[in-house]
Amino acid sequence: MPSYDVEIRDLHGQILAARYRLPAHNERVAVASARDYLPRLEADAVVTCFRRRRLRGRRLALTEYLAGGDGDGLAGVREPRRPLPGPGHLYAAADLPRPNPR
């Protein structure tokens, strides 16, 4: 099973939490495991995940942005759809043909 280094930093570059040599199946599992050790975020942060390699150090595997704070609580809420407009003033009736004067 590969091992990962996960660092969670604020937007100024200060490390908020770090987990080194974390065994996980993939980088997403490693990030989820590292976030369990982090207290509630008050500000935005950046997660950087490196895959550890035996010969050549570590290689960047994943970077993602974490939004901190409560926000406005409307994540995922959409406006209701507006109803379709009515047909307007369309007429379906055709003019009657006039008799041919001969």
Burial of 19 (0-12, 13-18, 19+ CB in 10 A): buried
Average pLDDT taken over every residue of the chain: 80
Does position 35 have pLDDT exceeding 70, yes or no? yes
Task: Give the pLDDT of residue 36.
Answer: 80
pTM of the model: 0.60
